[in-house]
Structures are given as structure tokens and as C-alpha cells.
A and B are shown apart, each in its own frame.
Chain A
Amino acid sequence: MQHRISIDHLLCRGCNLCLEVCPKEIFQDSAVIGSGGFRLKQVVSPEKCTGCGLCELCCPGAISLDCLPDEVFATILAGRESRRTQSQSRGGWKEVKSLLQPGRYFMTGNDAIVEAALAAGCRFFSGYPITPANEILEGMARRLKEVDGKFIQAEDEIASIFMVLGASWAGLKALTATAGPGFALMQEGLSLADMAEVPCVVINVQRAGPSTGQATRPAAMDMREARYGSHGGVERIVLYPESVQEVLDLTIEAFNLAERFRTPVILLSDGYLSHLSEKVELSEHIRVYDRIYVPGKPAFGPTPDFSAPSMPRFGDGENVGVTGSTHDRFGKRATADPSVQESLVFHLDRKILEHREELTDCEELFLEDAETAVVAFGTVGRSAKWAVKEARRLGEPVGLLRPRIVYPFPSRRVRELAGAVRKFVVPEMNQGQMFHVVSEKVSREVVSLPQPNGQIIDPRRILRYLIEGVW
């Protein structure tokens, strides 16, 4: 059989491999030098060709050996477009039944995370042992089996977060839980989750640091890291509950927010809340949100209305290209185009910031006529609540602002308060991390009450400050 060989000079790179590999030496340099600056290749004595195909296997697509008839190839090309397996849109709000019997339970913060995650639809967990988050890992290992979910203990926290991201693209709601050093290792994956808009939930059970610090002791020393720890530093949603009941509620909320905004959501806990046992109330019906998928829609931002883009699963046939490199709405890399880079980064920020009002969730106490506003988060917020109530009883004009959603920071509410109160007080189980955040929002006096000693802040200590001004 006579073989037909042609060379597309636009695709030839001049690597000369065809000259090297052809056993019959049917390729040669021609006298013509092409635009690439190398001699164009030519086929001499094609009759010697045995059709072995070595030339085309080594060639970047320039050599064409025995083409199909045009109409046959055209049919193949047309066929590749229709691989979409799902023609139905999916996602949005739905109501599901609680897995556990509704009613009252007595459980720890870590156990509440496990139950809430399952209720929210989480079916994948990957993690690595670390104190004080271990019971989440163990609980998920035990409980995911019962709901046909997938659990894997990874070799480290880096693998944990990347397994979570993979599982999320396979269509599952995915969770990991860690603490201190493990959270630092996850920052690489979290940054990718920001950029590629991968919904997932990461629990950080904060402990006293830096480094190994006091691994079993509570702290709030990752307040800034949760928001600013990753390279790139785009907006994040970060939650911090104060009680086991709130752990339960906010874990469900964390999954819903991750799915709605297609972003990683950090749920902060701490070494106190994780092991605190309390009464919780489980309701029968739970509202959960599933990520939106609309067949054929671009899978990435920017979106015109700052909403989360449609998210296909791998296997839906969308042939989606997911990348942490700068990409356009279809996932195609654009690693040198300044306008694509800028509009993507602004999209990642604005899809959260444009929803700032609904992402403001604060518990407020006595702020209507307060002269001093205590701003406190999570566990410290709970101590502060007792102190503020006691101070009020003693006649001090104090109030409490306790944001359940730490980031995006409720700047507007804090600025409003700044018009009414004389000063802000920020007690924290760290050296004053959120003090700086509050300070940069208001021009009022802001006082830092730091306690980085690995202990929860005694409510009486806050009360004493509110009454006597002594810390």
C-alpha cells in the first residue's frame, strides 16, 4: 500500500526528529528556510514508507500520515461536542430530614461538627490526626460509613486538603478538620480552592501557638491566618461559634455558604469548644444548599452579577479544565493577561463582598444605649456575654457585639456603632489580632484585652475590666 504523508509547515518546530526516527530516511531538509528560522522538511521517496508511524508519534502534529476521508473525520469532530451526560440543571435550596432523631442531645463540639456535617450533606472527609481536632476525624471515620460516604486518613494535611478538593470536583460535599500546624499546611490547598472556586469546609480547632505551643489548650491565635494566611489573600468566609449548639448550626451554615458562594469556608473552633459537652437541640428538618449546575454554562468567574458560577462534576462530560493558574470563564489559562488576572481576583473578592449584608451575622446585646462596646468572637464572646450582662446589672453602660461570621468582617455595623459608643473593647485569646481589624475600621478608641496564655478568658476578668478598667 502506498502511504500518503504530508507536513503542515505551520506546526513544524524544526526539531528534526522525523529525520532521526524514520528507518527509511524519507524526510529531508529542504533548501527553504521557514519563518521559524529552520529549514522546512520535505518528503522524499514516499514510496519507501512502510507506514510504521514513528514519524507522527514523534511529531508535534505537523506530520499527517494517511488521513481519513474528509467526511468521515468531520463526523468524528462533530461527535466530540455532544459528550454532555446531564441535560438537567441541578442545585439550590432543599429541605432534608435530620439523620439523627430530632430532639435533645448532649454532645461535644467536635461531635457536633460530625453530626452537622452529615446533616448538611457532607459525604467526604479526609484528615490527619492532630489535637484537639482528633474526634472529628474519628467521628467521620465511624459515621460516614453509615451514610455511604467516603473517609480517608491522609498522609498529611497537605494531602487532606487536596483530597477534599478532588472530591469536591467529583461532586461531593467535602470536609477536613485540623489545628495549628496542620492549618498552616493547608494554606496551599486553600489558596487553590479560592482561585479555582472549589467549595469545601475546613475546621480549624485553634490551639495555643505559635508552632506546637500548647497543643491541648484553647486559643484564638489563627484569627488572621484564617483570612489572610494564603498566598493571594482574597476574601474568605470565616465563622466562629460560641457554644456546641452554635457549632452545630454554623457547621451546617458553613456547608451552605461554601456551596452557595463556591468558596472554601473556614469554621473556627478552639481547644475549649471542641471538648465542651453541652445540650443541643436537633430539629427535624434542615435547609441545605447544593451547588448550582447549569449544563453548558461557563464553570468559572467572573460572573456578571457576582454570583457563584455553575459547577459541573467531573464525569458530567463538560470537559472542564480546573486550574489554580489565572484562567478565563471557561477555565482556559491566561497567565500573562493583566485584565483577566485583575477581573478574576476582583470576582473572587466581590462574589463575597457584594453579599456582605447577608453575610453579616452578629449577636448583639444592649448596644442601643451602650457607651462601651465589647467586640468578641467565639468562646471569648461567651465569656464577654456574661461579663456584659453582669456589668449592666451593676449599672455600667456596656454592650456586646459578637459576630458569628468573622469574615467578611461586619465593617458597616462596627462603623455604625462607632457613631454611638465612646470606645470599643476587644478581649481575645491572642495578643490582639482582631483588635487591629476593629481599629482599622473606626476612629474611636479601641482597647485590646489580650490573653494569649492558653486558657479561656475568665468572664470575671472581663467584668473587672469593664467595672474597674484593670486588665
Chain B
Amino acid sequence: MNIRELRKVYLREEKTTFCPGCGYEIFINCFLRAVEKLGKKLDDYTFTAGIGCSAWVPNNYFRADNFHTAHGRAIPAAIGLKLANPDLEVVTIGGDGDIASIGGNHLIHAIRKNVSIAVFCLNNFIYGMTGGQVGPTTPLKSKTSTTTEGNLEEPFDLVRLVLSVGGKHASRYPTSYPHLLVKGVENMLLSPDFRFMEVVSQCPRQYGLRNEIPTASSMLAWQKRHYVSKEKARALNSGELEGRIVFGDFRSLKEYLGFLPEEE
């Protein structure tokens, strides 16, 4: 099936309410494609979501069992589902505020417990639905509605966070590389451990407009300048890696740290 057909089959509505150029559309498409490539159907999976734009992905649109919980609580609900019925393939889809701020404690404990769920954190660097406030992944100096002169707080590196508390499968894919994102989603759905993916996504309306990358196209170009796959990163020297973020699947903190500039 092409994407249009996959959406007709698996989404409850053909027309979504996401803003023009929203990266979550790319995530939806890549997710559906990955499910198809695995020979599965969307409703072979059950979903949990928190609150925010990310929650609309499964709850409003995915034609599958799904539980739209409260803000940050998608992971505990997923653990409840998985533990109560281990036959369910449980997928959590949340935002950066959802998973890393209000639900941050649930995230690290789910990793520690190594519950077999797949957590997708759709990171758009900002609280989009509530009007563009600073979040736990907002880059330094970025302007948001609550940091009008620039963000002063160091953002979380979510992949590093997950691996450093014992995560066995942490990945990061930007929406600007949809084919790689599809492959990453496939790996996520196949893995038996707790697995985590940071989907670096664009929010042109709330983040881009405030930070001089006001269109979806310019945000994808911005992603391509700043994000480099781990395969390509291997060929780069530390100078060339400076200021760039590596993406791909990572299985240990040691592997991931190999791509980071050495710390003093």
C-alpha cells in the first residue's frame, strides 16, 4: 500500500488536525510504513499516550486499542497493560514534556524495570499545544513563550539519559530522514527489551516561528545541518562532529559516548 492507502486503512480520519508541516505527520506515515514492512497490522499493537499534540497521534487517529491517559502517565499505563497481558504489544507515544518532564520519573523507572514496551518520544523541543512554552529538551538560547530572551537551562540528551540508567535500546531519528526513521521504528517494534526512540520532530508553528526557522522546510534543513547518522559520524573527526547530534540505534552508553566530544 502507499501511504495514502495505509492512512485510509489505519487512521480513523483521513484529515488530521495537526498544523501544516507538523513532523508528527511524518512520524505517523513512517510508523504505518514500518508496521506494514513487518507484515503486521496496526491493531496488532496497543497504544498508550499522555497529553499534548503527540497524544493525538494514537488516540484520535490510530484505529487500534489505545489509552489516552493523563499528562506524563502513558508509561505506567503501558506497564499495567503489558504486565496484565504479556501477549499485548504495547507502544507508548508521548511528547518531550510528557515523557521527559512530567513523566520523567516513570521513564527512568520503566527502564530500570526493563518492561517490554516501546516508547516513542516525539520531541518537538517545545510545549506545542499549550502555546509554545520551554520544555526539557528545548535547546539552549531558544526562544519560547516562557523564555522570551532565550532558554537558560541545559536540555536533556534523551538518548544519553536512557542509556545511562541502563537502557538496552535507545534510538534517535529526525523526521528529515524518513526512510531511516522507518527502519528505526521497525527495530523498535522488534526489540524484546524496554526500548526508546527520540523522534526529533519539527514544530514550525510554535518553535520554528520563534527561532528564525519558520517553515517546515527550513526546519528540516536545520535538522539536516545539525543531525548526522552514526554511520556517517564514524567518518567524521571530532572537529567536524562539533555541534552536531548523532542519530541511529544505540545499544549501550559506551557506544553512544563514542560519538560525543570528550568531556573535560
**Is B255 at the interface (CB under 8 A from chain A)?**
no
- Minimum distance in angstroms from B231 CB to a CB of chain A: 19
Evaluate contact between A124 and B105: CB separation under 8 angstroms.
Answer: no
Interface set, chain B 203-224, CB cutoff 8 A to A: 204, 215-217, 220-221
Evaluate contact between B68 and A57: CB separation under 8 angstroms.
Answer: no
Evaluate contact between B217 and A17: CB separation under 8 angstroms.
Answer: yes
Evaluate contact between B77 and A166: CB separation under 8 angstroms.
Answer: yes
A125 to B215, CA, bound (A): 48
**Is A59 at the interface (CB under 8 A from chain B)?**
yes
Of A8, A64, A156, A163, the residue contacting B2 (CB under 8 A) is A64
Beyond A14-B20, A192-B69, is A61–B85 a contact (Cβ under 8 Å)? no
Q: Which of A101-109, A167-175, A413-421, A440-448 binds B?
A: A167-175
**Is A47 at the interface (CB under 8 A from chain B)?**
no
The contact size tier of chain A is 35 or more
**Is B64 at the interface (CB under 8 A from chain A)?**
yes
**Is B76 at the interface (CB under 8 A from chain A)?**
yes
Of B3, B21, B105, the residue contacting A56 (CB under 8 A) is B3
Convert A53-88 into 0s and 1s, putting 1 for each residue whose CB lies closer than 8 angstroms to a CB of B.
110111111111111100001001100100100000
Evaluate contact between B21 and A15: CB separation under 8 angstroms.
Answer: yes
Of B65, B76, B217, the residue contacting A158 (CB under 8 A) is B76
Interface set, chain B 1-30, CB cutoff 8 A to A: 1-5, 7-12, 14-16, 18-22, 25-26, 29-30
Beyond A155-B106, A189-B73, is A320–B14 a contact (Cβ under 8 Å)? no
Evaluate contact between A19 and B217: CB separation under 8 angstroms.
Answer: yes
Interface set, chain B 72-90, CB cutoff 8 A to A: 73, 75-85, 87-88
Beyond A80-B9, A162-B73, is A170–B63 a contact (Cβ under 8 Å)? no
- Minimum distance in angstroms from A156 CB to a CB of chain B: 7
Note all chain A residues with C-beta closer than 8 A to B33.
57
Beyond A61-B3, A189-B73, is A321–B216 a contact (Cβ under 8 Å)? no
**Is A455 at the interface (CB under 8 A from chain B)?**
no
Evaluate contact between A57 and B179: CB separation under 8 angstroms.
Answer: yes
Convert B86-101 into 0s and 1s, putting 1 for each residue whose CB lies closer than 8 angstroms to a CB of A.
0110000000000000
Evaluate contact between A154 and B76: CB separation under 8 angstroms.
Answer: yes
Count residues of chain B with CB under 8 A from any CB of chain A.
Answer: 66
Evaluate contact between A15 and B20: CB separation under 8 angstroms.
Answer: yes
**Is B171 at the interface (CB under 8 A from chain A)?**
no
Main secondary structure of the interface of B (DSSP, over half): helix
A401 to B182, CA, bound (A): 65
- Minimum distance in angstroms from A330 CB to a CB of chain B: 10
Evaluate contact between B70 and A323: CB separation under 8 angstroms.
Answer: no
- Minimum distance in angstroms from B124 CB to a CB of chain A: 15
Evaluate contact between B5 and A68: CB separation under 8 angstroms.
Answer: yes
Evaluate contact between A16 and B64: CB separation under 8 angstroms.
Answer: no
Evaluate contact between A162 and B76: CB separation under 8 angstroms.
Answer: yes
- Minimum distance in angstroms from B239 CB to a CB of chain A: 29
Of A13, A319, A332, the residue contacting B65 (CB under 8 A) is A319
Evaluate contact between A59 and B109: CB separation under 8 angstroms.
Answer: no
A54 to B1, CA, bound (A): 15
- Minimum distance in angstroms from B43 CB to a CB of chain A: 5
Note all chain B residues with C-beta closer than 8 A to A332.
12
**Is B67 at the interface (CB under 8 A from chain A)?**
yes
Interface set, chain A 321-339, CB cutoff 8 A to B: 321-325, 332-333
Evaluate contact between B79 and A166: CB separation under 8 angstroms.
Answer: yes
Interface set, chain A 11-53, CB cutoff 8 A to B: 11, 13-17, 19-21, 52-53
Which residue of the partner chain B has the closest CB to A63? Answer: B4
Which residue of the partner chain A has the closest CB to B16? Answer: A60
**Is B59 at the interface (CB under 8 A from chain A)?**
yes
Evaluate contact between A313 and B85: CB separation under 8 angstroms.
Answer: yes
A60 to B7, CA, bound (A): 9
Evaluate contact between B84 and A192: CB separation under 8 angstroms.
Answer: no
**Is A278 at the interface (CB under 8 A from chain B)?**
no
Evaluate contact between A53 and B3: CB separation under 8 angstroms.
Answer: yes
Beyond A170-B88, A319-B43, is A60–B70 a contact (Cβ under 8 Å)? no
Note all chain A residues with C-beta closer than 8 A to B77.
162-163, 165-166
Note all chain B residues with C-beta closer than 8 A to A58.
25-26, 29, 175, 178
Note all chain A residues with C-beta closer than 8 A to B69.
162, 165, 192, 324
What are 16 A-B pairs at a CB distance below 8 A? A13-B21, A16-B217, A17-B21, A52-B179, A76-B1, A76-B5, A83-B41, A83-B43, A124-B83, A162-B70, A164-B80, A165-B67, A167-B81, A189-B70, A196-B67, A315-B87
The 4 closest A-B pairs by CB, nearest first: A166-B80, A15-B21, A170-B84, A13-B20
